[in-house]
Amino acid sequence: MKTIITRAKIVNEERLIDNATVVIQDEFITHVLENETWNPDPDDIVIDASGMYLFPGVIDCHVHFREPGYTYKADIESESRTAAAGGVTSYMEMPNTNPPTTTLELLEEKYDIARKNSRVNYSFFFGATNDNIDLLRQLDPHRVPGVKVFMGSSTGNLLVDDSNAMRRIFETSPLRIVAHCEDNNIIEQNIKAFKRKYKGQNDFPVRYHSRIRSVEACYEAASKAVELARQTGARLHVAHVSSERELELFDSKPLAEKQITAEACIAHLMFTTEDYDQLGTKIKCNPAVKTPEDQAALRDALTDGRIDIVATDHAPHLLDEKVGGALRAMSGMPLVQFSLVSMLELVDKGVLPLQHVPTLMSHNPATLYNIDRRGFIRPGYYADLVIVDPNANWQVAEGRYYTKCGWTPMDERTFKWKVVRTLVNGVTAYSNGIVIDGIRGKELKFI
């Protein structure tokens, strides 16, 4: 039995193909046809995608699904379900869970959980610390995408604050290093300055968050990471670049020629400091959202080659954990369901061409991490696909989002584009508001 998607407009490899047909059998794409028909067998499944766009499934390289340790607000099952509803067919999850993923045993436990519960394809980063550097050479490069380094405060013992340990990580890791770049000393100095100014207050309005976790804090840490990568030859990926100044550190060369790459996240592309008045701590994240000028620079970098990947940094918290201000409210927001439609909104605003969206969200993640047969609409590749309606004009509302924490900063926002079907390994995992029970993703493999 085959699945046949007909009359689709395919967006793939910087091309737009009208009236296309995709044939799927046994998890894989077997044919991609342009202006050709395919005669189905009686038992084939035919999906008519007339008027719809067909994208390769999104590969989100930066999510926090909170399991183990914080499952009261999110878990692998709930957030992978949310991912499927947003057209995200694969994810790579970060190590700052409880306990943090800093041993081989804890890493394997996450894979076991995902094997049983994940609705889409999965993999997990390993967390580097000051003390576990000898384990890095034991990581399987065919199973683990990279090593996460926190150059700024984090949960558990994940903050790498020893310069000798940091150099050893860069010299030792056989895998790509993904760095969270914020300078802790600058952040602490900024907090002390605010406390002096406001006479010992222990919290401040959230609008000051970007001045505490400042551009200088981001740039200082990112520049150190980039310089260390150049000295040691390490492959470095700088996560969630949030400011115009940081963009000075990155080249516009083709991805294949880069040792050092950069990521932008949906929060920094969609929100700025001017949104604090309306959304408050719902858009508090680390690194902080920055000024409209910073956002404009990030948007420009989507098309000039300095930003290689767009991810979400999906990070759920309960709403009562978002109470407070710049210091007390927890940082992070749930966005994985809205990454693709947000990028398509930027297309409508003229920020980037439609054909470049899968490059940033599917092709480049697959290429950067050498993911086996995913991220493209090609014969022989896994059939991870998403069908999108370009004229849905729908409003986000309770009951239309699936994250376990029960809210999103996108609430009440109207989108023109809407994900109507997501296929994971050739099987429909989400269709028209329903996440299909019983569907499970596969562990990503790296070649």
pLDDT tops 80 at residue 152: no
Q: What is the pTM of this model?
A: 0.98
pLDDT tops 80 at residue 258: yes
Cβ–Cβ contacts within 10 Å for residue 394, how many?
Answer: 14
- Rounded to whole angstroms, the Cα distance separating 243 from 218 reads 8
The 3-state secondary structure of the chain reads CCEEEEEEEEEECCEEEEEEEEEEECCEEEEEEECCCCCCCCCCEEEECCCCEEEECEEEEEECCCCCCCCCCCCHHHHHHHHHHCCEEEEEECCCCCCCCCCHHHHHHHHHHHHHHCCCEEEECEECCCCCHHHHHHCCCCCCCEEEEEECCCCCCCECCCHHHHHHHHHHCCCEEEEEECCHHHHHHHHHHHHHHCCCCCCCCHHHHHHHCCHHHHHHHHHHHHHHHHHHCCCEEECCCCCCCHHHHCCCCCHHHCCEEEEEEHHHHHCCHHHHHHHHHHHCCCCCCCCHHHHHHHHHHHHHCCCCEEECCECCCCHHHHCCCCCCCCCCCCCHHHHHHHHHHHHHCCCCCHHHHHHHHHHHHHHHCCECCCCCCCCCCECCEEEEECCCCEECCCCCCCCCCCCCCCCCCEECCEEEEEEECCEEEEECCEECCCCCCCECCEC
Residue 193 CA to its chain's centroid (Å): 33
For residue 302, the model assigns a pLDDT of 98
For residue 154, the model assigns a pLDDT of 57
Section 41-45 average pLDDT: 96
Q: How confident is the model at residue 399 (pLDDT cuts 50, 70, 90)?
A: confident
Contact 92, 345 (CB under 8 A): no
Contact 366, 375 (CB under 8 A): yes
Q: How confident is the model at residue 198 (pLDDT cuts 50, 70, 90)?
A: confident
Contact 3, 348 (CB under 8 A): no
Contact 209, 231 (CB under 8 A): no
For residue 322, the model assigns a pLDDT of 98
Section 79-93 average pLDDT: 98
For residue 34, the model assigns a pLDDT of 95
Amino acid in position 267: A
- Rounded to whole angstroms, the Cα distance separating 166 from 159 reads 10
Range name among 30-34, 152-156, 355-359 with the lowest pLDDT average: 152-156
Q: How confident is the model at residue 200 (pLDDT cuts 50, 70, 90)?
A: confident
pLDDT tops 70 at residue 156: no
Residues 6 or more apart whose CB falls under 8 angstroms from that of 56 comprise 12, 358, 362, 363, 374, 375, 376, 377, 384, 385, 386
Of residues 17, 52, 9, 60, the one with CA closest to residue 343:
60
Q: How confident is the model at residue 157 (pLDDT cuts 50, 70, 90)?
A: confident
pLDDT tops 60 at residue 433: yes
Of residues 401, 390, 262, the one with CA closest to residue 336:
401
For residue 201, the model assigns a pLDDT of 87
Of residues 259, 114, 71, the one with CA closest to residue 177:
259
- Identify the structural domains of the chain with CATH numbers, from first to last: 3-54+375-396+414-435 (2.30.40.10), 60-368 (3.20.20.140)
Interval 302-318: pLDDT, tens:
999 999 999 999 999 99
For residue 107, the model assigns a pLDDT of 98
Helices 215-232 and 184-197, packing angle to 10 deg = 170
Contact 364, 59 (CB under 8 A): no
Section 262-283 average pLDDT: 98
- Rounded to whole angstroms, the Cα distance separating 413 from 405 reads 18
For residue 153, the model assigns a pLDDT of 63
pLDDT tops 70 at residue 203: yes
Interval 220-256: pLDDT, tens:
999 999 999 999 999 999 999 999 999 999 999 999 9
Contact 388, 55 (CB under 8 A): yes
